[in-house]
Copies of this chain bind each other. A is one copy, B any other.
Amino acid sequence: MVLDANWIVGFVDGEGCFHVGISENTQMKVGKQVLCEFVVTQHIRNLSVLYALKKSMQNIGVVRKKRKTYQFRVRKLSELYQVVLPFFEKHNLKTDKNIDFLGFRDVVHLMFRGEHLTSEGFEKIKSIQSRMNRRRFGVENSLE
């Protein structure tokens, strides 16, 4: 199944998530670890759509079961930087999910330059994250 770029944007506007997660990690200099992920979640009925999505996005990411659902997810910084960001810069999201994308993009840029390893860079990321996703609406936003 070949997916049109505009279809992908529409589907991601509905079902996608640009997520910045921060977790404790004492091995890191700043004591925290940052994880960026782009995720699309579906019922097993639409597993083939998730694989088509992966294929249509230069075969990046993985398709994985998560509890009772399936996810196409991209976590590799290089894949986010080289494929996901340019894709959604070229094909703009139409819903307010674009606000999340812009924050996500800023965090990926900071991480690509290694700034998440410094206290100053980490604070910048925390500040961006606080304005993203459901945090804007008072819902917790941690990665599981």
Contacts and interface: CB of A to CB of B under 8 A. Distances in A.
A13 interface: yes
Interface residues of A, number: 23
Interface stretch (A18-26, A31-39, A45-53, A113-121): A45-53
A8 interface: yes
Chain multiplicity (copies): 2
Of listed A8, A42, A46, A94, residue having the most chain B CB within 10 A: A94
A interface majority secondary structure: helix
A113 B96 CA distance: 41
A46 B10 CA distance: 13
A69 to B, nearest CB: 13
Nearest to A7: B10
A1 interface: yes
Interface in A1-17: 1, 3-15
Nearest to A8: B10
A12 to B, nearest CB: 8
A95 interface: yes
Interface of A: 1, 3-15, 42-43, 45-46, 49, 52, 94-96
